[in-house]
Amino acid sequence: MDANKANIEEIVKQVLANMAGNGATAAPSGSAGKASELPKTARVAMLTDLEHYEIKEFPLPEVGDDDILVKVEGCGICGTDAHEFKKDPFGLIPVVLGHEGTGEIVKMGKNVKKDSAGKDLKLGDKVVTCMIFKDDPEITMFDLNKQNVGGADVYGLLPDDEVHFNGWFSDYILIRGGSTVFNVSDLDLYSRILIEPCAVLIHAVERAKSTGILRFNSRVAVQGCGPIGLICIAILRTMGINDILAVDGEQKRLDFARRLGAAETLNFKDYKGIEALAEGVKSKLGGHLADFAFQCTGSPVGHSNIYKFVRNGGGLCELGFFINGGDATINPHFDICSKELTMVGSWVYTLRDYATTFEFLKSAKKIGLPMDELITDTFPLEQINEAHRTNLAMTGLKIAIINQ
């Protein structure tokens, strides 16, 4: 009885504090993230040099009227993180990386009521972020589908500043006003960690559909069976496309591609030369070249080869080059013109693709695709250097940092 009375008194004090103009609300005693449970300081994993993270501790930032403080539960390691870890191509060091993250709201500004899709937000809700809007009218227009995330900022790719909690490789992250945030409390942790990479493929498939060539009965080749290619296969299968050929050089990945929906697999190491490889594709697709192909590797050789997999009048989506991977050699006459090939490029996603991704993950689970098994290795935050080395070794698929 006394404990209940104390809880009630604490809740009343919190309400009175808010009425008095306190700018942020923290969860009351007895619920997730109560104010008394929030530490004064927390950790971030900061990339301070090439291939070297340091665990640093900073005071938790103030939460403004439009801000949200999130306790991080987990974050996947992306290929972009790997590039930053090895070479810092974006010149961000020192930086707190991690953009495939998710966590629980533990404190929120008084102006925060709903997420970017109009769904109610409250303390304890599980969220993900997409973009941070800047003063760019092309991004803030009503039809957000016309602008991909390339024109906006993203948490996990922000240079370090006085806030410090700018990426998901941390204990907490401060989501500032002007950001996009989605309530995904109806998804489990692993599904939430996979939202960002899945959105990349939702966008690519939407781009592919714009050609008018990708249909239910299309023969589709997917080259590259890392996480991106495997998710591509899962999306195609969820859409009802059955005739999918997975192409890769690692048998373990090809075996998993079958579990995610590939009807056939082809190990390019079994073929010598592009002509033999193209014949292998044709044989696997019942004597036909692909109606449509997705190029999911960052290899210029892979890009050069993919044209040979596609029939005359077919389509191609190139999505493998998230950064400059070098020049590829093609013959425009034979590869594009004489084939009358229809091509699209795809890079990251739009805000609207996120909403579609939530439904894809639910649909994939309903039809029994083992999406969770894409996350093969997990590490605590303090082992982030080892996690990145494991990612670079490519012994698993998706590597994730999980906070206990």
Tens of pLDDT, residues 33-59: 444 589 999 999 999 999 999 999 999
Residue 27 has pLDDT above 70, yes or no: no
The helix or strand, by DSSP H or E, that contains position 355, with its residue range, turns out to be: helix 351-366
The single-letter DSSP state of residue 252 is H
All domains of the chain in start order, with CATH: 2-193+370-402 (3.90.180.10), 199-345 (3.40.50.720)
At residue 198, the pLDDT reads 98
What six digits make up the tokens of 9? 């008194």
At residue 134, the pLDDT reads 61
Asked if residue 215 lies in contact with residue 226, where contact means CB atoms within 8 angstroms, the answer is: no
At residue 345, the pLDDT reads 95
What six digits make up the tokens of 259? 């579990």
Asked if residue 43 lies in contact with residue 55, where contact means CB atoms within 8 angstroms, the answer is: yes
115-130 per-position pLDDT tens digit: 988 999 999 999 999 8
Residue 26 has pLDDT above 50, yes or no: yes
236-286 per-position pLDDT tens digit: 999 999 999 999 999 999 999 999 999 999 999 999 999 999 999 999 999
Residue 2 has pLDDT above 70, yes or no: no
At residue 404, the pLDDT reads 75
E strand residue ranges, 20-94: 24-26, 41-49, 52-59, 68-76
CA separation for the pair 128, 100 (Å, rounded):
8
At residue 12, the pLDDT reads 36
Angle at which helices 227-238 and 195-209 pack, to 10 degrees? 60
- Mean pLDDT of the residues in the chain: 90
Would you call 10 exposed, middle or buried from its count of C-beta atoms within 10 A (0-12, 13-18, 19+)? Answer: middle
- pLDDT band at residue 322 using 50, 70 and 90 as cut-offs: confident
Q: Are strands 100-109 and 24-26 parallel, antiparallel or unpaired?
A: antiparallel
The single-letter DSSP state of residue 336 is I
Please provide the DSSP assignment of 269-310 as one string: GG--SHHHHHHHHHHHTTT--EEEEEE----HHHHHHHGGGE
